[in-house]
């Protein structure tokens, strides 16, 4: 704390040392909301005296010497606005400046607009063919530093990234998050903000940064919406994904409803396993799954300064995994049939109140959330062992039940002060209740017998209180911020009672190297925490094959991370970033021999002593011709792993890269080709083999750009997966072909409709952000 108190004023010193020049402030506005990321300049004759861009709410602040100027406001979707003004010693507040939407035929956006704020990149999703027909997951791939893999979403190579949609945290596993994002379309999304390192106003467990998705403006006293249908097919895979949304604005009320589904009636997976002794195994899964989401939200604006909202969302998911496997081991053949089923649903209720204190962006928020997650599963296991002429059968079954309740309340204040300062402060309290039960039975002598050693009943309660304060300053070419968050957590369960307190500071500095803001340099440091996910704490046993299974670990400790980076930005889009993510007690999945059966492998999350990742990230967009664009992304990581304190650190080099070539062709055709690769990955005593994929998309726009038809080829190289683990000197290799990552074809159509004038459809903000993310299983990757 003493070091932070000394460092904080030192951080702000360079900006205060700048000349105390007066400021011009204001807000670019249209009916229903501010205009984000408009270009603002102060001109004196032919010379630009100051320049910048409006923030996410349309606000701006420019400093200059006293005198007469011409203010210019420009945005691709609006008519230019110019206003003469006189700037005196006390500064000048212009209030709200109303912009007029440009005519429909006068605007053509051919690519995404990328800008840089003090701690984030902002992608404004346009109306060009590059966006048409894309879903939310595909749009995220366009954002600087974002990589989407089967293990989840990462920013600058750091996984654990949290995704918000209009202030609400997406919860669930990596696959559930991807399903949600695929239910959104380019017609829904206005902009994407990528925050590599979060400030104190975000929960301390936002270890991989956050991605903020803001939905598009819609119609005032009218309606708009979209319908989309798509299907993905391959030799062993079939997915159908319909979605729709309707938004209505009438007077002071904004009402919206949306629904989406991802239905997978057929998904075949094939795996082969070998070991460093006589062993061979094969398994085949013919799974099927259904995912559905429905949401209703109502927002009431009694006055321009006050807003109240209510929302309800229900997500349902069903998964069925019948698996057949055969294993040859030391003259014994094992044939098994597993039927594993899991069905669950999540209900979320949210209420909030927002008081906008002034036109500068000061506001007070009160948010309350309740989330209920329920999951039930039953499994049957039938196994026949054959050795020579001897044969015996084994039959057992299990029933699982999980109930999670999350209650969250948060109060936050943002206050814009004089001299370009912004104060943020707030507090949050959370109560998590987890109830997991499982019963195992075996069939012997035509009777079912309880297996007490496998079954369990476990209740887990966690209560967290948090408070934070941060201060941000914009002065001249400097954007500076510093914050401190404190969190106290108390845990109670049948086998574990403990509590812990942590302080989580963060510092950020962004400096513009030239007057045109084409060169920027940003430095960031933060301390974060990663709490174990609820399924990672759940000791339920999931059978993967005859000789391997997966289970949770109730004794997991939280992970603490120091994150630091230095980033050079050119023209907002070209980025070079170097830094490190330094972990203590990192949670990884570890393979080990089962104590009761040395031939069986148990996969369980464990805490590692330390794991450090030093990275270099580069994104380079190139415009080859007017109709051909190329974008390159690459992340190199030096990974240093120490499993136990007494171990010698193991060092590995990792590489992730992708290249996207986009072609805008006549007659409203658009073609895109994407190549992605990754080197061998290392996690604990396990590895994932290298991977190379190639995909392509063709789009055609019709009906005055309201209808988009698209065809996508995924993983044309048909690259599979290879998993390697080393346990007690035994090398185990599993090669697999999974349906969602193999060669497949996606075809679909998207239709957008609207009436009335544009308005901003808002969602009800949620406070249970990081807590609902813990409903997801730990991904085991943290690049």
pLDDT at 536 over 90: no
Residues 149 and 82 in one domain: no
Band (pLDDT 50/70/90 cuts) for residue 157 is low
- Stretch among 49-53, 248-252, 296-300, 389-393 having the lowest mean pLDDT: 49-53
Mean pLDDT calculated for residue range 392-421: 87
Q: What are the tokens at 475?
A: 């002065």
Query: Do 102 and 167 sit in the same domain of this protein?
Result: no
pLDDT digits (tens, 9 = 90+) for 547-566: 778 888 888 888 899 989 99
DSSP string, 597-666: -TTSEEEEEEE-SEEEEEEEEEEEEEEEETTEEEEEEEEEEEEEEESSTTSPPEEEEEEEEEEEEEEEET
**Residue 47 pLDDT more than 90?**
no
Check pLDDT > 70 for residue 131.
no
User: Is 178 in the same domain as 59?
Assistant: no
Q: Is 3 helix (H, G, I), strand (E, B) or coil?
A: helix
Determine, yes or no, domain membership for 674. yes
231 and 275 belong to one structural domain: yes
| CATH classification at residue 60 | 2.60.40.10
Quick one: residue 641, left, alpha or beta (phi over 0 = left, psi -120 to 50 = alpha)? beta
User: For position 747, what pLDDT does the model report?
Assistant: 92
Query: Which sign, positive or negative, has the C-alpha torsion 111, 117, 119, 125?
Result: negative
Burial 284-317 (b: 16+ CB within 10 A, else e): ebebebbbbbebebebebeeeeebbbebebebeb
Q: Tell me what pLDDT residue 133 has.
A: 54
- Domain termination residue (choose one: 88, 106, 124): 106
Name the residue with tokens 């304190």.
645
Cβ atoms < 10 Å from Cβ of 100: 11
pLDDT band at 783 (very low <50, low <70, confident <90, very high): very low
Q: For residue 590, how many C-alpha atoms fall within 13 Å in the half-sphere facing its CB?
A: 17
3-state secondary structure of 672: strand
Quick check: is 503 in a domain? yes
31 occurs within a structural domain:
yes
The pLDDT value given to residue 115: 67
Domain check: are 81 and 154 in the same one? no
Query: Can you give the residue range of the structural domain that contains 449?
Result: 113-773
Q: How far apart are the first and last CA of the chain?
A: 29
8 Å CB contact between 100 and 79? yes
Residue 17 lies in a domain: no
Q: Are residues 138 and 68 in the same domain?
A: no
The 10 Å CB-count burial string (b at 16+, else e) for 101-129 is: beeeeeeebebbbbbbbbbbbbbbbbbbb
681 with 646: CB under 8 angstroms? no
Q: Are residues 98 and 126 in the same domain?
A: no
Rounded distance, CA 582 to CA 605, Å?
A: 19
Q: How far apart are CA 783 and CA 781, in angstroms?
A: 6
Contact 314, 347 (CB under 8 A): yes
At 420, is the secondary structure helix, strand, or coil?
helix
C-alpha span between 47 and 737 (Å, rounded) = 61
Query: Residue 590 maps to which CATH number?
Result: 2.40.170.20
Alpha-carbon distance 604 to 587, whole Å?
A: 10
Q: DSSP letters of 431-485?
A: EEEEEEEEEEEEEETTEEEE-TTT-EEEEEEEEEEEEEEEEEEEETTEEEEEEEE
Asked whether residue 4 carries a pLDDT value surpassing 50, the answer given is no
Give 37's Cβ-side CA count (13 Å radius): 21
3: in domain: no
Strands 559-570, 497-512: pairing kind:
unpaired
| pTM, 2 dp | 0.69
Does residue 406 carry a pLDDT above 80?
A: yes
Residue % of the chain over a pLDDT of 70: 81
> Is the model's pLDDT at 379 over the cut of 80?
yes
Is the model's pLDDT at 134 over the cut of 70?
no
2: pLDDT strictly greater than 60: no
Are residue 446 and residue 330 in the same domain, yes or no?
yes
Q: Which of 53, 77, 106 is a domain's end point?
A: 106
Q: 104 falls in which pLDDT band (50, 70, 90)? A: very low
Would you give the DSSP letter of residue 15? H
Name the helix (H) or strand (E) containing 14. Answer: helix 2-17
pLDDT tens, 730-745? 788 888 887 777 888 9
470-483 pLDDT, tens digit per residue, is 998 888 788 888 99
Q: E strands of 531-596, at which residues?
A: 542-545, 548-550, 559-570, 574-584, 587-593
The most confident of 10-19, 106-115, 144-153, 243-252, by mean pLDDT: 243-252
Question: Would residue 73 count as lying in a domain?
Answer: yes
Structure-block tokens of residue 274: 């070998």
* pLDDT category of residue 345 using cuts at 50, 70 and 90: very high
Per-residue pLDDT of 313-323, as tens digits, reads 999 989 888 88
**Model confidence pLDDT, tens digit, residues 7-41:** 334 333 433 333 457 888 888 887 556 777 677 88
88 and 141 belong to one structural domain: no
CA–CA dist 492, 464 (Å, integer): 12
Between CA 346 and CA 370 the distance in angstroms is: 10
Whole-number pLDDT of residue 694: 93
The answer to whether position 633 is within a domain reads yes
Instruction: State how far Cα 302 lies from the chain centre.
Output: 33
Residue 144 has pLDDT above 80, yes or no: no
In angstroms, the CA 22 to CA 92 distance is: 8
| More confident: 258 or 170 | 258
131-157 as b/e, with b when 16 or more CB fall inside 10 Å? bbbbbbbbbbbbbbbbbbbebbbbbbb
Average pLDDT across the chain, whole number: 80
For residues 520, 523, 526 and 532, what is the CA-based torsion angle, rounded to 10 degrees? 60
Same domain, 486 and 359: yes
How far apart, in whole angstroms, are the C-alpha atoms of residue 210 and residue 72? 33
Residues 79 and 227 in one domain: no
**Quick one: 425 and 467 in the same domain?**
yes
Domain boundary residue, one of 106, 134, 150: 106
pLDDT above 60: residue 778: no
| Closest alpha carbon to 189 in 106, 230, 133 | 133
In a domain, 237, yes or no: yes
Q: Which of 58-72, 647-661, 691-705, 723-737 is the least confident region? A: 723-737
218 or 162: which leads in pLDDT: 162
Could you give the number of structural domains in the chain?
Answer: 2
**Is the model's pLDDT at 89 over the cut of 80?**
yes
Mean pLDDT within 391-414: 89
Mean pLDDT of all residues in 133-154: 69
């Amino acid at each position: 704390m003493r070091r932070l108190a000394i460092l904080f004023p030192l951080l702000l010193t360079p900006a205060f040392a700048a000349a105390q020049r007066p400021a011009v402030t204001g807000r670019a506005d249209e009916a229903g909301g501010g205009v984000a990321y408009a270009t603002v300049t102060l001109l004196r004759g032919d010379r630009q005296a100051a320049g910048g861009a409006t923030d996410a709410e349309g606000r701006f602040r420019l400093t200059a010497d006293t005198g007469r100027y011409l203010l210019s406001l420009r945005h691709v979707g609006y008519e230019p606005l110019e206003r003469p003004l006189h700037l005196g010693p006390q500064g000048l507040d212009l209030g709200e400046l109303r912009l007029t939407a440009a005519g429909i035929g006068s605007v053509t956006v051919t690519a995404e607009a990328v800008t840089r704020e003090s701690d984030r990149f902002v992608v404004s999703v346009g109306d060009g063919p590059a966006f048409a027909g894309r879903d939310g997951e595909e749009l995220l791939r366009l954002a600087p530093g974002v990589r989407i893999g089967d293990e989840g979403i990462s920013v600058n190579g750091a996984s654990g990234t949290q995704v918000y949609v209009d202030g609400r945290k997406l919860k669930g596993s990596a696959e559930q998050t991807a399903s949600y994002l695929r239910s959104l379309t380019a017609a829904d999304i206005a902009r994407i903000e990528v925050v590599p390192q979060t400030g104190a106003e975000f929960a301390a467990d936002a270890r991989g940064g956050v991605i903020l998705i803001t939905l598009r403006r819609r119609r005032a006293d009218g309606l708009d919406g979209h319908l989309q249908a798509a299907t993905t097919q391959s030799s062993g895979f079939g997915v159908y994904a319909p979605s729709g949304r309707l938004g209505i604005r009438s007077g002071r009320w904004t009402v919206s409803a949306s629904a989406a589904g991802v239905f997978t009636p057929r998904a075949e997976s094939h795996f082969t396993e070998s070991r460093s002794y006589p062993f061979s195994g094969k398994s085949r899964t013919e799974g099927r799954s259904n995912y559905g989401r429905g949401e209703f939200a109502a927002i009431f604006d009694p006055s321009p300064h006050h807003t109240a909202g209510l929302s309800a969302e229900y997500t349902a998911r069903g998964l069925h995994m019948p698996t057949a496997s055969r294993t040859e081991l030391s003259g014994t053949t094992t044939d098994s049939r597993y039927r594993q089923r899991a069905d669950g649903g999540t209900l979320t209720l949210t209420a909030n109140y927002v008081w906008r204190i002034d036109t500068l962006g000061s506001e007070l928020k009160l948010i309350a959330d309740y989330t209920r997650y329920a999951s039930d599963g039953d499994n049957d296991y039938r196994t026949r062992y054959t050795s020579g002429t001897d044969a015996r059968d084994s039959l057992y079954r299990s029933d699982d039940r999980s109930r999670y309740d999350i209650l969250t309340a948060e109060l936050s204040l943002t206050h814009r002060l004089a001299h370009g300062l912004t104060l943020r402060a707030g507090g949050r309290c959370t109560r998590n209740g987890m109830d997991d039960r499982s019963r195992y039975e075996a069939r012997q002598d035509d009777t079912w017998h309880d297996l007490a050693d496998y079954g369990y009943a476990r209740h887990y309660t966690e209560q967290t209180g948090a408070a934070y304060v941060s201060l941000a300053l914009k002065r001249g070419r400097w954007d500076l911020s510093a914050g401190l968050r404190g969190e106290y957590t108390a845990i109670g369960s049948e086998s574990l009672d403990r509590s812990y307190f942590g302080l989580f500071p963060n510092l950020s500095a962004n400096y513009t190297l030239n007057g045109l803001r084409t060169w920027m340099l940003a430095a960031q440091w933060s301390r974060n925490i990663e709490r174990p996910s609820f399924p990672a704490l759940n000791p339920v046993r999931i059978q993967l094959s005859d000789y391997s299974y997966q289970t949770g670990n109730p004794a997991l400790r939280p992970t603490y991370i120091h994150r630091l980076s230095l980033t050079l930005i050119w023209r907002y889009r070209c980025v070079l970033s170097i830094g490190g993510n330094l972990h203590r007690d990192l949670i990884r999945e570890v393979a080990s021999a089962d104590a009761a059966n040395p031939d069986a492998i148990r996969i369980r999350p464990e805490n590692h002593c330390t794991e450090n990742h030093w990275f270099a990230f580069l994104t380079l967009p190139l415009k080859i011709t007017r109709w051909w664009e190329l974008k390159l992304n690459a992340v190199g990581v030096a990974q240093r792993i120490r499993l136990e304190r007494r171990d010698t650190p193991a060092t590995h080099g990792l590489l992730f890269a992708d290249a996207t070539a986009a072609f805008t062709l006549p007659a409203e055709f658009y073609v895109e080709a994407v190549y992605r690769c990754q080197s061998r990955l290392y996690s604990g005593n396990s590895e994932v083999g290298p991977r190379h994929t190639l995909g392509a998309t063709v789009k055609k726009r019709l009906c005055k750009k309201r209808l988009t038809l698209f065809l996508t080829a995924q993983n044309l190289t048909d690259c599979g997966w290879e998993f390697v683990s080393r346990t007690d000197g035994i090398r185990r290799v599993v090669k697999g072909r999974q349906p969602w990552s193999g060669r497949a074809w996606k075809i679909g159509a998207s239709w957008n409709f609207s009436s009335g004038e544009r308005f901003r459809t808002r969602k009800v903000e949620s406070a249970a952000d990081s807590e609902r993310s813990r409903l997801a299983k730990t991904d085991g990757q943290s690049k």
